[in-house]
Chain A
Amino acid sequence: MESKVVLSMKDISKTFPGVKALSHVDFMLREGEVHALMGENGAGKSTLIKVLTGVYEFDSGEVTMSGKSIVNHSPQDAQENGISTVYQEVNLCPNLTVAENLFIGREPRRFGMIDWKTMNKKAAELLKSLNIEVEPTGMLEECSIAIQQMIAIARAVDMECKVLILDEPTSSLDDEEVKKLFGLMRRLKDKGVGIIFVTHFLEQVYEICDRITVLRNGELVGEYETESLPRVMLVAKMMGKDFDDLADIKSERTGGIDAKETLIEAKGLGHQGTIRPFDIAIHKGEVVGLAGLLGSGRSELVRTIYGADKPDCGTLKVKGQEVKIGTPLEAMKLGMAYLPEDRKKEGIIADLSVRENIIIALQAKRGMLKPMSRKEMEEAADKYIDMLQIKTASRETPIKSLSGGNQQKVIIGRWLLTNPDFLILDEPTRGIDIGTKTEIQKLVLKLADEGKSIVFISSEVEEMLRTCSTLHILRDGKKVGEITGDELKQEKIMETIAGGEESHG
């Protein structure tokens, strides 16, 4: 029984200068279904949503709603056409009442004045019909995030939307709140609203969604019925692997790990809202990988160790000594180094020169009153420009004018200069060319041979198989497994990442 198609996007393409963000993507939403839009970072999910809601204009293709061809030039257009979006960050006014938020911009009027009585009454009716338990006259800021999100949804629903887009609504909700939100989604579904659900959480997809559309690198991978797509297959599709050709890639590394000497040992370490308490042990000379989908807590785990997010439970031992790390500087003084995932936002200091970018971490570690001499800086900069073969016009060139791969090398150089024992590399190879990728992988192995311990995070499983001797698997903000030795195979990793039901294959 095929239900009515409410929205269909056909052959949508969108190019940004230099990047093909979407290429010939089809998407179809039926009445009364919850449809998951899945894909890793850069897959094109948010571009597709933005094209649909009129934030961007698409280059080619067609959008039809209920059989009528439409073009949205702005989110207002989209709303008039019955497409509403609720974002992760609720964009309502916290200092207004619930009712005011529901009717802002379309208040019921009487003699030109706002008719508060009718507004509150209508608001109460609306909230009741959706089973949202909140007083219409209460202040929005006093509601929990989940309720606020539901109010945003209620507002969208009341504006007669036929298509509701929920862009990662559950990221900041706890289990109980997610349950409530799902309840609301089911009620809307019964009313015939088509819901597009963007999320990273696999569990939630399998709990609520009827269909799944997977995108990868701006292309459509396919549309699937949730029931007939095992989790492992979904993960494989998102990561771009056919399940059959999961070849065995073995680490090129032989020996060098001193299992007796534990460098980092965390017990029950966690940070509210980002990563649940986890245990991890990292030995001297070991390369440990963290695998999992985006948003599974890979970065959050290492950030907790490094003190970038101060842990609020558990203990951490460095070289057998129990330590409390509250700031990155304290972690650095214990011999840690952290190459962050987002190079642009958290890595490079764009306007500063290559030289300054290389020496800044060591300088910060030394303290303000012990500045490095110009000669010392230049020697350090030249050493790493040479060693890592950084392609730059000179050491005084601003780092922002270097290519991504070379910027990444500068940041690696920055940390090597501090001579760390423990190096955290969060997606060091993302968005850089193949040649540099291989260089970085080789460097990681070389550093491990020198006795440094390394945490390596990557979305590419092959890369980790090549470099890591142990893989820790994360899912939905929780460490769910540890794979070592002969078990280190793509298939096993995929299965653990997917979790839940066992593979059908």
Chain B
Amino acid sequence: MAKTGFDIRKITGNRLFMPLVCLAAVLIVGGIFVPDFFAVSINNNVLYGYPVDIVNRASEVVILAIGMTLVTAASGGQDISVGAVMAVAAAVCCQILSGGETSVNEFANPLALAIIAALIAATLCGAFNGFLVAKLNIQPMVATLILFTAGRGIAQLVTKGQITYIRVESYKVMGGFIGKCPVPTPVFFAIAAVALAFLVLKKTALGLYIESVGINGAASRLIGLNSTMIKFLTYVICGLLAGVAGIVASSRIYSADANNIGLNLEMDAILAVALGGNALGGGKFSLMGSVIGAYTIQALTTTLYAFRVSSDRLPVYKAIVVIVIVIIQSPAFHRFMAEQKAKRAAKNQVAEGGN
């Protein structure tokens, strides 16, 4: 008896426990109220079903959440420009592919060139943010507000105010399917990005450096860490990942829609970090938590769509659920629960004593 109790505590004490519980709760609600919520079928060689939809649609947020986690941990602030940077990357990519036309049926330039250029553009955006935050010590929110507002304008400039369409099958692959593979390609992008991030954190001391700088910058400096460089690096990584997400998003709609690509995704990414149990004030972080958070958000969105909530009302319901989840995960709530438990235990003891 006592032994199993101990084991449970070990599980509940894990950092990922609460994020997983939240994800499970959302899925369970979906499973109860939406018919065939967990059903997955293959039609036309392609996987269909709500679970597939969730995993597929969450890809961009997962990719963004990785960068957002690192930025949050190192600088104690968020990069709110990632959505706009996605649009910039998409615009650069499509514009190079179209060679200046608004709609093309074949590539004007090689795909690899376009992708590399798009990623460089996104990385430069990240470097700009990083310079402002790390070198000039501007508050992350304010520093990234610049590209948040200007990014979409830049994207419009790149596409000359048009929506550039790339009606080429091989461009649709990144947001669609590779050959006869039934799994949507964005899923692979998300998996690759997560795997790569884990590899980097495992094979270098970057993770420890980021946490150290995020927790105590002054102490980190005295033990030889270059906190400016480390913060800068996280913003560069964040920018690069936003570029990847932007290309995936653009490939889904085979176009560069500067006004809509990545719209509001920065908020989802920040939310993913928070839902993953990471402190938005920086310091220790859990990448896996953020990834789970990202899937939770998409699960929520998909479930709400399944309830036939219209997309313009969606944010309201989303907000309600998010508030509940965030409260459940807050230390204040944990303390409250612990107190309640202690009170109940005391009451029981009194009752037993009375017998």
Q: Known contacts being A360-B208, A364-B209, A371-B204, is A352 close to B284, with CB within 8 Å?
A: yes
Q: In the assembly, what is the distance between CA of A308 and CA of B223, in Å?
A: 10
B212 to A352, Cβ gap below 8 A? Answer: yes
Instruction: Write out, one digit per residue, whether chain A residues 348-385 have a CB within 8 A of any chain B CB (1) or not (0).
Output: 11111000100011011111111110000000000000
Q: In the assembly, what is the distance between CA of A276 and CA of B277, in Å?
A: 49
A348 to B216, Cβ gap below 8 A? Answer: yes
Q: Known contacts being A348-B219, A350-B215, is A363 close to B226, with CB within 8 Å?
A: no
Q: B284 contacts which chain A residues (CB < 8 A)?
A: 351-352
Instruction: Write out, one digit per residue, whether chain A residues 370-413 have a CB within 8 A of any chain B CB (1) or not (0).
Output: 11100000000000000000000000000000000000000000
A349 to B224, Cβ gap below 8 A? Answer: no
Q: A328 contacts which chain B residues (CB < 8 A)?
A: 221-224
How far, in Å, is B85 (CB) from chain A's closest CB?
Answer: 25
Q: A348 contacts which chain B residues (CB < 8 A)?
A: 216, 219
* A327 beta carbon closer than 8 Å to chain B: yes
Instruction: Write out, one digit per residue, whether chain B residues 219-239 have a CB within 8 A of any chain A CB (1) or not (0).
Output: 111111110000000000000
How far, in Å, is A424 (CB) from chain B's closest CB?
Answer: 10
**What count of chain B residues pass the 8 Å CB interface test?**
21
Which one of B203, B208, B219, B283 lies within 8 Å of A356 (CB-CB)? B208
B205 to A371, Cβ gap below 8 A? Answer: yes
In the complex, what residue of chain B is closest to A339 when comparing beta carbons? Answer: B222
* A332 beta carbon closer than 8 Å to chain B: yes
A349 to B212, Cβ gap below 8 A? Answer: yes
Q: Known contacts being A327-B226, A332-B224, A414-B223, is A360 close to B212, with CB within 8 Å?
A: yes
How far, in Å, is A399 (CB) from chain B's closest CB?
Answer: 10
Q: In the assembly, what is the distance between CA of A364 and CA of B209, in Å?
A: 8
How far, in Å, is B236 (CB) from chain A's closest CB?
Answer: 14
Q: Known contacts being A351-B284, A352-B211, is A361 close to B216, with CB within 8 Å?
A: no
Q: B218 contacts which chain A residues (CB < 8 A)?
A: 345-346
* B206 beta carbon closer than 8 Å to chain A: yes
Q: Known contacts being A308-B221, A327-B226, is A351 close to B205, with CB within 8 Å?
A: no
In the complex, what residue of chain B is closest to A330 when comparing beta carbons? Answer: B224
A-B contact pairs, 30 of them (CB 8 A): A308-B221, A308-B222, A327-B226, A328-B221, A328-B223, A329-B224, A332-B223, A332-B224, A345-B218, A345-B219, A346-B222, A347-B219, A347-B222, A349-B215, A349-B216, A349-B219, A350-B215, A351-B284, A352-B211, A356-B208, A356-B212, A360-B225, A364-B224, A365-B224, A366-B205, A369-B204, A369-B205, A370-B205, A371-B203, A371-B208
Task: Taking A338-B222, A356-B212 as given, write out 12 further A-B residue pairs in contact, using a Cβ cutoff of 8 Å, ordered by the A residue number.
Answer: A327-B224, A332-B224, A340-B219, A346-B218, A351-B215, A351-B283, A352-B208, A360-B225, A364-B223, A365-B224, A368-B205, A371-B204
Q: B204 contacts which chain A residues (CB < 8 A)?
A: 368-369, 371
| Residue in A328, A356, A366 whose Cβ sees the most chain B Cβ within 10 Å | A328
A346 to B219, Cβ gap below 8 A? Answer: yes
In the complex, what residue of chain B is closest to A340 when comparing beta carbons? Answer: B222
Q: In the assembly, what is the distance between CA of A347 and CA of B218, in Å?
A: 8
In the complex, what residue of chain A is closest to B282 when comparing beta carbons? Answer: A351
How far, in Å, is A355 (CB) from chain B's closest CB?
Answer: 10
Q: In the assembly, what is the distance between CA of A181 and CA of B222, in Å?
A: 36
A361 to B224, Cβ gap below 8 A? Answer: yes
A368 to B206, Cβ gap below 8 A? Answer: yes
Q: In the assembly, what is the distance between CA of A326 and CA of B206, in Å?
A: 23
How far, in Å, is A177 (CB) from chain B's closest CB?
Answer: 28
How far, in Å, is B211 (CB) from chain A's closest CB?
Answer: 6
Instruction: Write out, one digit per residue, whether chain A residues 415-440 have a CB within 8 A of any chain B CB (1) or not (0).
Output: 00000000000000000000000000
Q: Known contacts being A328-B221, A361-B224, is A368 close to B216, with CB within 8 Å?
A: no
How far, in Å, is A315 (CB) from chain B's closest CB?
Answer: 23
B203 to A360, Cβ gap below 8 A? Answer: no
Q: In the assembly, what is the distance between CA of A366 and CA of B216, in Å?
A: 20
Q: In the assembly, what is the distance between CA of A346 and CA of B218, in Å?
A: 5
Q: A367 contacts which chain B residues (CB < 8 A)?
A: 205
Q: In the assembly, what is the distance between CA of A365 and CA of B225, in Å?
A: 8
Q: A366 contacts which chain B residues (CB < 8 A)?
A: 205
How far, in Å, is B218 (CB) from chain A's closest CB?
Answer: 5
Which B107-134 residues have C-beta < 8 A from chain A?
none
Q: In the assembly, what is the distance between CA of A306 and CA of B224, in Å?
A: 11
How far, in Å, is B142 (CB) from chain A's closest CB?
Answer: 18
How far, in Å, is B321 (CB) from chain A's closest CB?
Answer: 29
Q: A414 contacts which chain B residues (CB < 8 A)?
A: 223
Q: A329 contacts which chain B residues (CB < 8 A)?
A: 224-226
In the complex, what residue of chain B is closest to A400 when comparing beta carbons? Answer: B215
Q: B219 contacts which chain A residues (CB < 8 A)?
A: 340, 345-349
Q: B225 contacts which chain A residues (CB < 8 A)?
A: 329, 360, 364
B209 to A349, Cβ gap below 8 A? Answer: no
Which A301-356 residues have C-beta < 8 A from chain B?
306, 308, 327-329, 332, 338, 340, 345-352, 356
**What 9 A-B pairs are tightest by C-beta distance, nearest first?**
A329-B224, A364-B224, A371-B205, A361-B223, A349-B216, A332-B224, A346-B218, A349-B215, A368-B205
Instruction: Write out, one digit per residue, whether chain B residues 179-219 have a CB within 8 A of any chain A CB (1) or not (0).
Output: 00000000000000000000000011110110110011011
Q: In the assembly, what is the distance between CA of A363 and CA of B224, in Å?
A: 9
Q: In the assembly, what is the distance between CA of A161 and CA of B211, in Å?
A: 49
Q: A327 contacts which chain B residues (CB < 8 A)?
A: 221, 224, 226
Q: In the assembly, what is the distance between CA of A364 and CA of B221, in Å?
A: 10
How far, in Å, is B96 (CB) from chain A's closest CB?
Answer: 33
Q: In the assembly, what is the distance between CA of A350 and CA of B283, in Å?
A: 10
Q: In the assembly, what is the distance between CA of A372 and CA of B215, in Å?
A: 21
Which one of B206, B216, B222 lies within 8 Å of A350 (CB-CB)? B216
A363 to B208, Cβ gap below 8 A? Answer: yes
How far, in Å, is A330 (CB) from chain B's closest CB?
Answer: 8
Which A212-251 residues have C-beta < 8 A from chain B?
none
Q: In the assembly, what is the distance between CA of A131 and CA of B21, in Å?
A: 70
How far, in Å, is A393 (CB) from chain B's closest CB?
Answer: 14
Q: A308 contacts which chain B residues (CB < 8 A)?
A: 221-222
In the complex, what residue of chain A is closest to B283 when comparing beta carbons? Answer: A351
| Residue in A347, A348, A356, A360 whose Cβ sees the most chain B Cβ within 10 Å | A360
